[in-house]
Amino acid sequence: MSHSTTATVPYKLTRVGVVMSPLPGEAHETEGVLNPASGRTPDGTLHLLPRLVAEGNVSRVGLAEVTLEDGVPTGVERRGVVLAPDAGWERGKNNAGVEDPRTTWIADLGRYVMSYVAYGPLGPKPALALSEDLVHWERLGPIQFAYQPDLDTDLNLFPNKDVVHFPEPVPGPDGTPCYAMLHRPMWDLGWFRPGEGVHLPAGVTDERPGIWISYVPVDEVKQDLSALTRPRHHRLVALSEHPWEALKIGAGPAPIRVDEGWLLIHHGVSGTIEDPFAQVQTVNYAAGAMILDPADPARVIARTAEPLMAPETPEERSGTVPNVVFPTAIEEIDGVRYVFYGMADAHIGVARLDRSE
């Protein structure tokens, strides 16, 4: 299902600086600002949609206008909260949150599609919301993965994160134009049902969480936008391959179309995770990239053997979760692409994305 690749990924990341840090005295941000989505309001102004973490690890999605100096992102001006864990399924008895938003502008729908993680009674589950202006979001609800007999499991059983949408239709498995999403199921159910352990789909032998793709035909979404929450044709795209990804991998920002194909910035995790919900872990999150085949985006045609960026600066090495570089958004400003990323689950940084040849 997964193929080793030797082609190179001709891109590099260069740090620019920190663009957002928790504001002292701001209750919504006491435990960090991180992992932002991004987009432009109808007037063209660039915004981030940061995850704001309040006391007790309760997350909201904020809106923050990006301030530029000579076209380079240097900071933000806060514009409030646009999504909070207000729905019953986004809250448990002792937890709540709408976490890690990723947004994609899908031009032929005239909408931003936001995926986010609803931290509800059964842990992290992916959900979608739509907006035309970044300010007003309409929940479509939790993602309902269609049952697929050949997998011999139900993808809805599993926690799932790192959901991102392609910005335009791609060929589905049978050639039908589809909206496609990447996602990252986690097969170990032991953390919320002690003793239950790992349940792998048929045909998968590696229990480390990897990147999957699922599809919804364009025609169905055009008739009913909520069809986006009912993806099917689930396929494995990529698993950990290199030492810097030894524990797991997951999608970063939504894929962007480049000359070589679809460029997917992804994160890889190495180290050890004793308890997936412990605050302090001896892990290292770094950023790499893959190129996906435009004719079949489930196929990886190149990937980076080494990270494009790993934790090095003080903000990346020390924070709520030390040693984290977690890219979640890409935006173009005056012809230059910038990647926004979470730093140690506490701050937001920005890096330039350039061709390396």
Q: Is residue 1 part of a domain?
A: no
Number of domains the chain is built from: 1
For position 279, what pLDDT does the model report? 52
Contact 321, 329 (CB under 8 A): no
- Global confidence as pTM: 0.95
Q: Is residue 133 part of a domain?
A: yes
For position 274, what pLDDT does the model report? 67
Question: Which mean pLDDT values do the consecutive 10-residue runs of the chain (357 residues) have?
Answer: 64 98 96 97 98 97 98 98 98 96 97 97 95 98 98 96 98 96 96 92 97 98 98 98 97 97 98 66 92 98 97 94 96 98 96 93
CATH number at residue 223: 2.115.10.20
For position 275, what pLDDT does the model report? 64
Q: Is residue 6 part of a domain?
A: no
For position 2, what pLDDT does the model report? 45
Contact 306, 287 (CB under 8 A): no
Q: Which domain holds residue 168?
A: 11-355
Q: Is residue 165 part of a domain?
A: yes
For position 281, what pLDDT does the model report? 60
Q: Is residue 5 part of a domain?
A: no
For position 3, what pLDDT does the model report? 47
Rg (CA), the chain: 19
